[in-house]
Amino acid sequence: MYSIAPSILSANFVRLEEEIAAVESGGATILHVDVMDGRFVPNITIGLPVVKSIRKATSMTIDTHLMIVEPGDYAVQFVDAGADMVSVHIEADQHIHRTLQSIRDAGAKAGVVINPGTPLNSVSEAIYHADYVLIMSVNPGFGGQKFIPRSLDRLRELRQMITDRGLDVRIEIDGGIDMSNINVVADAGADIMVAGSAVFGMGDPAEAVRALSNKGAVWV
């Protein structure tokens, strides 16, 4: 079993409330919000005021993915803005333990994110202090990129690491997830599948969530 977390990065921002309502009606329970600062990644998206507004518009779990430098300065502000899950990149934070702890202390789930080029053992210690690990299966910054196949081995390896240590840590995967690979990604051990263009790039976001939720229902 896995959850679909539609990423609003690929939504129509002018009609954001309708887009959110659509994925909720399709059965999504988690909404993925990509926060980019133009420094950690070469793109700028949205920040705290938008998260505050989304909080008023939905009861879905709000999952904020912080692609920003020095995320420890902002993580708790995102919890205060209404985020239920806040993830920070291992590559961006010199004090990951402190940041993860501060997110938990503020009452949200704390996640650590790892880029495709970063060795998996970089999160070896952080997973003791995290509620979930987000494996990037594309380089962060943009929607609509192609899934990096090596991510499957990384998923399996991380799943094994978590099992071997008896930890209660979820695995989220982000980037290039669509109908063609969701089955194999689920088998490799992902619990939460982020999907941007595969949800909002289609004509009917609600139907796209339904299709992606039914493992193996449709193959293209």
Residues designated as active site: 34, 174
Per-residue string for binding with Zn ion, 33-72, x by CB under 5 A? -x------------------------------x-------
Q: Which residues contact 105 (CB under 8 A, 6 or more apart)?
A: none
Strands 85-89 and 61-67: parallel
Q: Does 89 bind Zn ion (CB under 5 A)?
A: no
**Distance of closest approach, residue 151 Cβ to ligand DX5, in angstroms:** 12
Strand partners, 3: 192
Strand partners, 192: 3, 172
DSSP labels for 129-163?
G-SEEEEESS-TT-SSPPP-TTHHHHHHHHHHHHH
Per-residue string for binding with Zn ion, 16-35, x by CB under 5 A? ------------------x-
Q: Does 9 bind ligand DX5 (CB under 6 A)?
A: yes
Residue 94 CA to residue 22 CA, distance in Å, equals: 39
209 binds, among ligand DX5, Zn ion, none (CB under 5 to 8 A by kind): none
Q: Return residues touching ligand DX5 (CB under 6 A).
A: 7, 9-10, 32, 34, 65, 138, 140-145, 174-177, 194-198
